[in-house]
Amino acid sequence: MTTKCHTEYLWFNTKKLHEFVNITDEVERIVEKSKVADGMALVSAMHITSAVYVNDAESGLIDDIEEWLNEIAPMNKDYRHHRTGETNGYAHLWNLTLGHQVIVPITNAKLDLGPWEQVYYAEFDGQRKKRVIVKVMGI
């Protein structure tokens, strides 16, 4: 058995400030290209104002997540971070809440997700170019 490692980047430039993008199919494509049959895929946002998470692909839930994040760290609050000239303090906190990466198991050359699980890229300070790294490792 030979250990394999394969890396690709997904690039985003969202149309809106906040967007939740289902990237499951793209991650599956990268896993297939890697030829890894058993292992894991690390999916990580490479920006501190975005997140990667696994959950249900249901629009009401996505709206609930954004509303919940805004309750925890309101967009209109005067954060100390804003004293540097920035206006996205909340986006940094939203990243800490959802997390910037997930590890998804690979079994039989496929993502081994639960029946409703999907991989999402969540953008909290969009309308500019950002990327996600997908690193597939295994045998």
Q: What is the total count of domains within the chain? A: 1
Range of the domain at 31: 4-78+85-138
Three-class SS state of 60: helix
Q: For position 1, what pLDDT does the model report?
A: 82
Residues facing 51 on adjacent strands: 122
- Model-level pTM? 0.95
36 contacts: CB under 8 Å, gap ≥ 6: 4, 6, 106, 109, 136, 137, 138, 139
Q: For position 127, what pLDDT does the model report?
A: 94
- For residue 33, the surrounding DSSP H or E stretch is helix 24-34
| CATH code, 31 | 2.60.120.460
Strands (E), 25-138: 38-45, 50-56, 101-107, 110-111, 117-123, 130-138
Q: For position 82, what pLDDT does the model report?
A: 96
Asked if 131 and 21 touch (Cβ cutoff 8 Å), the reply is: no
Tens of each residue's pLDDT in the chain, 139 residues: 899 999 999 999 999 999 999 999 999 999 999 999 999 999 999 999 999 999 999 999 999 999 999 999 999 999 999 999 999 999 999 999 999 999 999 999 999 999 999 999 999 999 999 999 999 999 9
